[in-house]
Amino acid sequence: MSPKRTSVHHSPQTEIASELDKHSARDRPKPCQAAQIVAAADFEVIRTLGCPRGGSEVGELVLGRLKTSARQYVIKIFRKSTLGAERQATYRVQREQKALRLIVERDIPFVPQLRWSFQDEKALYLVMEDYTGQNLRTWVKRNGIVHPDEVKVYAAELVAGLSALHAAGIVYHALNPETVLIRKDGRIVLADLSSAKILQANRNASGAESACDMSLSEVGQYQAPEVILRWAHDYSSDWWGFGLLLCFMLTGKHAFLGNKSFTNMHSSLWESRVLHGRMVADLTESVGPDALDLLSKCLERNPVLRLSEEGIKKHTFFAGV
C-alpha cells in the first residue's frame, strides 16, 4: 500500500481522480465521516483476500490493520492505472462508492459498512468494517447442506438486508453463493456491492432500470431471466436470486442446473436451462412443502408474477422466525 497520500492529479493517466474525489473522505456526508483522517500508510496488510467478485481485474481485497488501534478492516483497492484504461470499471467503482455511502446513511444491515474512502496518487481505497467469513459455497462444500432451522434464519437475514437496500433504491444484483458470506458470529453479509444498481438515479419511464449499461461479466447463472435477456429490470430480480440461494442452502444445488459445473461451457447451455428448463427432479423430495412453495414463487420467470417482498415476508416458511 502506498506510504503517501497526495492531492488529486489531473493528468491524462489519472483523469478519473477528479470524479473519484467527489466521494473522498472529506466530501462524504456526515454519517460516513469519522473523526480520524487516514491514509494508506496508516494501515498494515495482514493478508490478501483476493479480488472483488465481478471486477477481478480492477481491484483487490485485503485484510488490514489500523496501526494506531490494531483494529482490522477489509480494504478494497482500485489501481488508478487500471481504472484509467477501463471506463466501465471506473463507472462501477463510482457506483459502488455511492451505494456504500447510502448504506451508511440508511444504517442498512447485513452489508459491508464503509468507514473511510480516500485516495493517493496510485489508488482509490474503500475501508470497511471487517466482514470476513466463509462464502456460502465453501461453507456448504465443507459442512454439507444448511440445517433447515438455520436456513430460515439466514433467509430472514437475506430478506432484511435486501429489503433495506431496496428501500434505499439499491438493487443488489449479484446474489450467488460466492457473494453471501457467513461470518464467525453466524450472521450473513452480502459481501460485494460492485454490481449494485441504484435505481433512484437511473430509472426509465416505467420505473425499471435500463439494462443497456450492464457489462457481460455481470450476467451469471444466478441472475434473473430478465437480466440474462438484457431486459429492463428492478428489485424483483433480487428475489429471483433469493429463491436460488434458498434452494442452494437446502440442497447444495442450483434449482435449474443441479450440481453440475457449467463454468467452462458456452453460456447458451446454462442460459437455456435457466430460461426454459424445469427445476431439478429431486427438489420436491429434498425440500419441505413451505420452502418449495416459497422458492417456486420466487423463481417465477415473469417478474410481474414473481412473489414480492411483502409476499415473501408473510410466507408461512418464516412462521416462528
| Three cell numbers written together for 116 | 473511510
> What single string gives the DSSP state of each residue in 182-243?
EETTS-EEE---TT-EEGGGS--TTSSBPSTT--GGG--TTS-HHHHTT--B-THHHHHHHH
> Between residues 215 and 48, which one has the greater pLDDT?
48
Per-residue model confidence as pLDDT tens digits over 138-172: 999 999 999 999 999 999 999 999 999 999 999 99
- CATH 1.10.510.10 residue ranges in the chain? 133-318
Residue 114: phi, psi to the nearest 5?
-70, 130
* Class of domain 133-318 (CATH, top level): mainly alpha
**Which superfamily is assigned to 12-129 in CATH?**
Phosphorylase Kinase; domain 1 (3.30.200.20)
| Three cell numbers written together for 255 | 434449482
- Reported as a pLDDT band with limits 50, 70 and 90, residue 82 is confident
> What single string gives the DSSP state of each residue in 87-151?
HHHHHHHHHHHHHHHHHHHHT-SSS--EEEEEE-SSEEEEEEE---EEEHHHHHHHH-SPPHHHH
- pLDDT for res 267: 84
- CATH 3.30.200.20 residue ranges in the chain? 12-129
The number of beta carbons lying within 10 Å of the beta carbon of residue 126 is: 26
The whole-chain average pLDDT of the chain stands at 83
Q: How much is the pTM?
A: 0.83
